[in-house]
A and B are shown apart, each in its own frame.
Chain A
Amino acid sequence: MVDASLLTNPVYLLQNLVDGLARGAVYAVFALGFTLIFGVLDIVNLAHASTFMWCAFAGWVVMSLLNMPLIVGLLASMLFGGLVAVVLEFVAFRPLRQEGAERLSPMISSIGVSIIMVSLAEAAFSAQTKKFPSGVLDPKPLYIGGTDGVRVSWGQLLIVVVSIVLMVALGYLIRRTRTGMAIRAVAYSQRAARLLGINVNRVVVITFFVGGVLAGAAGILIGLLTNNISPSMGSDIELRGLAVVILGGLGNIEGAVVGGLLLGLVETFTIAYFDQGSDYKDAIAFIILFLILLIRPNGLFGRQEANRA
């Protein structure tokens, strides 16, 4: 354990709460698009991480090379992500679905696409990490309660706010719109949806587009927060993203956010309150994940009757 004075220090506790939420928001934002495609299509889209990485680069190109403001970069990145995901659906997933391929085939296909995308990014941008131009976010953090108080950087604030906004928007889309109803029908049963006259392929394309848009938002936000854009940024976060999706309940949107925040908090507190805590953070996080799944096999928010998405 750490020094006793830190254990009882309220500012230290609050600071870790803030940092943990921000760290978790990173996972949550990433997991949103992941869980959507998972929930609706029952596909583990392992190309989500590379879509996300390409979106970060797209945002970087727009903001760094074309000198556009953050909002333009964010929108461009989201649009780019949507388009990439739709292309993936046509190239990597639809042919398999039409051939009635095995359950795991799309996952293997997505791994292949993912490797190709990472290699392309390495060829296009070199493997060196890229940084956003320094003026995008004020490097000086905000302080709550004076400079000895709790620090929040603008990147942290942005990612927490945007992850909540995206969660609400996505929830609205799925539950309150006709498109959302169609998506839920397809999630329940593609065959039944087709019998009811729903154009399943169209719904799948929309789902991929929305998933890609979310990957785009995640790419630029995480790129901003860590200021580290590289072809390997996707694989660094992929495993945790998958864990968060399962923790929250497959295809459950609120679950992804809560799961992400929880994972971020657990990791942060492990580092903060144990000596050399970084060495154990993954082990502790996954043990907790495992225990939760023992008690709630469908994840935190998963329902027994998996009426997902």
Chain B
Amino acid sequence: MKKGRVSTRFSFLAVLAMFSMTLLGACGDNTATVPAPTTAVLPTTAAASGATTAASTTAAASGATTAAAGATTAAASGATTAASTTAAASGATTAAGGTSAAASALTGQIKIGAIATLTGNNSPFGIAIKNGFDLAVEELNNNKYLGDATIQLVTLDDKGDKQEGISVMTKLLDQEKVVAVLGPTLSSTALAADPIAQQKGIPVLGTSNTANGITEMGNFVFRDSLPEASVIPGAVAAVSAKLKPKKAAMMYESTNEFTKSADDVFKAELQKNGITLTGNEAYSKGDTDFRTQLNKLKATSPDLLIVSGLIGEAVPIVQQAREVGITQPILGGNGFNTPAIYQQGKEAAEGVIVGSAWFLGSTNPKSQAFVAAYKKKYNTDPDQFSAQAYAGAYLMATAIKNANSTDPKAIRDALASIKNFDSVLGTFSFDANRNPVHNPVVVVVKGGKFELYQ
């Protein structure tokens, strides 16, 4: 019968297609880790951004000076963005670093872009982040933080996908003409999308990117999220001091830059603390059954299980670890830093330890005010990601205020010079590589919430 032959050929084609898709999927991670234009590309980026506006020469000139904007920059900036048409005249006077709102060059609506993972398995991160942005922008506008100007936040969904991240970044820069970008949520997306902003000379501030190589992409890329390398050492040291484990087993997602780089940091820290690594098992994004890996790790009888994963997989991993009989404590990577771990993981999540940039019970007055406002607006507790997003929006607004300009280059310079800023994360500074400097904490799930691990 003819039909049989047709479907045979079709089945071959289908298998070939599937096989190549698998291969492509495996290669996909490497392709994203490419670009890293170095910091020496300043003139070209200024020129690139200038191509769209009339003020390119003055913008480039202002780049040579510092963020305390001179009259020229203020005047120039008025012409750069579409929103602030009347700004040029009013902004010609002051040179101050924006301590008062008086005689500000800023008027009208200032468009800031935000990219967050609002759908898909990792949406718990993105939704918390969007909430943090929205709350901060609402406060900033209500309190007239930028004087007469208001911030208009344009938030787009990257679906946790690199390609989608690239397309929404392009949309924000080319269509929306934003002056700065907050996000994207995942490091893997940031590594794919941020080079576009770098190339166009638009500052981008990641509020949740913790992988290696983020700010190395260029001098317009910032983050306020402590990289793994700053959080994990403290967490491993705390666990090591309290539980004195001799052997640890690890599990990580091999299809994500952040979880892979965290895995490497964990490995190095274990060695420093004299803990033997008994096994290091991988899994892929979207996996649902982790029993085989866990069973294998259980056979190495570790004193501690370390999981470097994102929340979509972290919850089933924790539950299945308990199911296969791993009763030892679990230390999670940054992906565990959300209430979803205990809200969804229930009893299995009790005793899960995680290094964190911020925690709910912080006594910092800024933080307490944030928690209260967040609870009022969203009727749920904020997590570390909302706090970092909230801090990120404030940092960006402060940079715009200090630059007294909406010129992306001036905002970049003002952002880079932020030091000892009183934020929801504590006293906050950017280091020379545009990475955050502030103190991390170690927390543990107890009675269905995060507590300080002591």
Task: Pick the contact of B11: A5, A226, A250 (CB < 8 A).
Answer: A250
The answer to whether A283 touches B23 (Cβ under 8 A) is: yes
Of A94-102, A166-174, A209-217, A238-246, the one touching chain B: A238-246
A262-298 interface mask toward B, CB cutoff 8 Å, 1 = contact, 0 = none?
0000001001100011110011001101100100011
Q: Tell whether B273 is near chain A: CB-to-CB under 8 Å.
A: no
Contact status A226-B325, CB under 8 Å: no
| CB 8 Å contact bits of A1-33 with B (1 = contact, 0 = none) | 011011001001001100110110010000000
Does B316 interact with chain A (Cβ within 8 Å)?
yes
The chain A residue sitting closest to B12, CB to CB, is A293
Set of chain A residues within 8 Å of B292, measured between Cβ atoms: 16, 19-20, 23, 268, 271-272
Segment 310-359 of B: residues with Cβ below 8 Å from A: 312, 315-316, 319, 322-325, 340, 344, 346-348
Q: Taking A23-B289, A305-B1 as contacts, is the C-beta distance between A286 and B18 under 8 angstroms?
A: yes
**Separation of A3 and B3 alpha carbons in the complex (Å):** 49
Whether A141 pairs with B22 at a CB distance below 8 angstroms is no
Stretch at the interface among B31-39, B279-287, B368-376: B279-287
Binds B, one of A60-68, A77-85, A193-201, A227-235: A227-235
Other-chain residue from B11, B12, B289, B316 in contact with A19 (beta carbon distance below 8 A): B289
Residue of A at shortest CB range from B16? A290
B19 within 8 Å of A (CB atoms): yes
Q: With A246-B11, A276-B281, A293-B15 in contact, is A236–B295 under 8 Å at CB?
A: no
Give the number of residues in B that approach A within 8 Å (Cβ atoms).
54
Binding site for B on A (CB under 8 A): 2-3, 5-6, 9, 12, 15-16, 19-20, 22-23, 26, 42, 122, 126-129, 131, 134, 139, 141, 147, 151, 153, 222, 225-228, 230-233, 236, 239, 242-243, 246, 250, 268, 271-272, 276-279, 282-283, 286-287, 289-290, 293, 297-299, 302-306
Known: A15-B295, A42-B3, A278-B284. A246 touches B14 (CB 8 A): yes
A278 / chain B contacts, CB cutoff of 8 Å: 254, 281-284, 287, 293
A290: nearest chain-B partner, CB-CB: B15
Residues of B within 8 A of A6 (CB): 296, 299
Q: Across the interface, which residues of B come within 8 angstroms of A26, CB to CB? A: 289
In the complex, what residues of A have CB within 8 A of residue B438's CB? Answer: none
Number of A-B contacts defined by CB within 8 Å: 150
Give me 15 A-to-B residue pairs in the complex whose CB atoms sit less than 8 angstroms apart, sorted by A's number. A9-B299, A134-B347, A151-B323, A232-B286, A233-B288, A243-B18, A246-B11, A246-B14, A272-B296, A278-B282, A279-B254, A282-B284, A297-B8, A297-B11, A306-B3
B4–A304 touching, CB < 8 Å: yes
> Contact at B315–A129, with CB atoms within 8 Å?
yes
When chains A and B are docked, how far (Å) is the Cα of A2 from the Cα of B299?
11
Chain A residues near B22 (CB-CB < 8 A): 282-283, 286
Cβ of B119 < 8 Å from any Cβ of A?
Answer: yes
15 extra A-B contacts, CB within 8 A, seeds A139-B348, A289-B15: A5-B299, A16-B292, A19-B295, A127-B118, A127-B119, A139-B322, A230-B312, A231-B120, A236-B286, A250-B7, A271-B293, A272-B296, A282-B25, A293-B12, A297-B11
Say yes or no: A293 contacts B11, CB within 8 Å. Answer: yes
User: How far is it, in angstroms, between the C-alpha of A248 and the C-alpha of B176 when the chains are bound?
Assistant: 51
Q: Assuming the A-B contacts A19-B295, A276-B282, A278-B284, are A306 and B1 also in contact, with contact meaning beta carbons closer than 8 angstroms in the complex?
A: yes
CB-based contact B296/A271 at 8 Å: yes
Q: Which residues of A contact B293 (CB under 8 A)?
A: 271, 278
Name the CB-closest residue of B to A272: B292
B127 contacts chain A at the CB level, 8 A cutoff: yes
Contact B123 A306 (CB under 8 A): no
Q: Which residues of B contact A2 (CB under 8 A)?
A: 296
Please measure, in the bound complex, the distance between the C-alpha atom of A42 and the C-alpha atom of B299, giving whole angstroms.
47
Q: Cβ of B14 and Cβ of A242 under 8 Å apart?
A: yes
Is the Cβ of B118 less than 8 Å from the Cβ of A305? no
Q: Are A128 and B124 in contact (CB under 8 A)?
A: yes
With contacts A271-B293, A283-B22 taken as known, whether A226 is within 8 angstroms of B299 at the C-beta atoms is: no
A227–B291 CA distance with the chains assembled, in angstroms? 13
Interface of B is mostly: helix
Q: Is B323 a contact partner of A306 (Cβ separation < 8 A)?
A: no
B26 touches A283 (CB 8 A): yes
Q: Which residues of B contact A231 (CB under 8 A)?
A: 119-120
- A289 CA to B118 CA in the complex, in Å? 36
Known: A128-B123, A231-B119, A271-B292. A243 touches B299 (CB 8 A): no
Whether A126 contacts B3 by the Cβ 8 Å rule is: no
> Are A12 and B15 neighbours in the complex by a CB distance under 8 Å?
no
Q: Once bound together, how far apart are the Cα atoms of A128 and B293, in whole Å?
A: 25
Decide yes or no whether B268 CB sits under 8 A from chain A.
no
- Which chain A positions have C-beta within 8 A of B319? 139, 227
Q: Name the distance in Å between A72's Cβ and chain B's nearest Cβ.
A: 23
Interface centre among A19, A26, A227 (most CB of B within 10 A): A227
Encoded as 1 (CB less than 8 Å from any A CB) or 0, chain B from 254 to 293 comes to 1000000000000000000000000011111011110111
B38 CB to nearest chain A CB (Å) = 31
